[in-house]
């Protein structure tokens, strides 16, 4: 994550959040004291449509390659901005493919444009009035947009306080490092553990990312999923009398 801007648009009080978490979690208190202060990077000028358009471009490829491709997509718009939803629907798919998008990503961008025009994807002001659950429900209806992408939107664009990305590998491995675990937690395990962090799971998640970064890949690459225990087969032989 890029973390170089002050959190000036949060939907909660950061001091209250860090104090609350520090009082309830000793390991988290240590992380909060030792790691860099909570920060998020968001462009207040971006609409939900623009944020999600960029998210689609960045899926499953390196950041450098995605930046190049998204730069080409932006060039199809005006004034340094990506194409509007109306403009996106008029751009031939072949032209999007030529810019470097896969067929699936081109289809996802067009579906995003359609659902933005239809009002399913809200404006920024509308998004501010919707709950986290309502936003997830509406945005995952867009082709190519999953829960993780929406969670990143909730955290880094809207500054929501209580988002826990239970499928994010950085958060999961950061938790393993912070709490001295040798395994990657299953989503349900992390969700259950994270109840202690409510209503500030966003801040706790951010510090799990910091724990992951501080440990480095030499350490975190050794953290793996817990091996499933094989059930012992019952003997099929008949007992002699």
CA geometry: angle 210, 212, 216, nearest 5 deg = 115
What pairs with residue 225 in β-bridges? 184
Task: Enter the DSSP assignment of 55.
Answer: H
Cis bond before residue 31 (omega within 30° of 0): no
d(CA 241, CA 23) in angstroms, rounded, equals 65
Q: Single out the residue of 28, 53, 9, 80 nearest to residue 201, CA to CA.
A: 28
Buried b (16+ CB within 10 A) or exposed e, 174-203: bbbbbeeeeebbeeebbeebbeebeebbbb
Instruction: Tell me whether residue 162 is one of the annotated catalytic residues.
Output: no
- Start-to-end CA distance of the chain, whole Å, equals 68
d(CA 39, CA 165) in angstroms, rounded, equals 17
Q: Which of 25, 111, 162, 168 is an active site residue?
A: 168
What pairs with residue 224 in β-bridges? 183
* Helix ranges (DSSP H) in 41-197: 48-58, 63-74, 85-90, 93-98, 103-117, 124-129, 132-139, 147-156, 169-178, 187-193
- Active-site residue list: 168
């Amino acid at each position: 994550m890029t973390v170089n801007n002050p959190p000036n648009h949060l939907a909660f009080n950061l001091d209250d959040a860090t104090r609350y978490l520090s009082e309830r979690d000793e390991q988290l208190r240590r992380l909060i004291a030792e790691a860099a202060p909570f920060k998020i990077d968001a462009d207040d000028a971006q609409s939900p449509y623009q944020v999600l358009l960029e998210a689609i471009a960045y899926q499953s490829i390196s950041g450098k390659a995605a930046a190049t491709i998204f730069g080409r997509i932006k060039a199809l718009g005006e004034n340094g901005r990506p194409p509007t939803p109306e403009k996106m629907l008029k751009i031939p798919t072949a032209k999007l493919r030529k810019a470097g998008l896969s067929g699936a990503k081109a289809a996802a961008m067009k579906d995003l444009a359609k659902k933005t025009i239809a009002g399913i994807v809200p404006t920024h002001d509308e998004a501010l009035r919707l709950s986290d659950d309502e936003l997830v429900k509406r945005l995952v209806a867009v082709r190519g947009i999953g829960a993780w992408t929406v969670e990143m939107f909730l955290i880094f664009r809207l500054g929501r306080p209580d988002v826990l990305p239970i499928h994010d590998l950085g958060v999961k491995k950061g938790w393993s490092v912070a709490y001295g675990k040798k395994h990657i937690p299953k989503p349900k395990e992390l969700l259950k553990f994270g109840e202690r962090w409510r209503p500030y799971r966003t801040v706790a998640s951010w510090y799990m990312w910091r724990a992951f970064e501080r440990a480095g890949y030499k350490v975190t690459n050794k953290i793996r999923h817990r091996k499933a225990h094989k059930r012992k087969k019952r003997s099929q032989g008949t007992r002699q009398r």
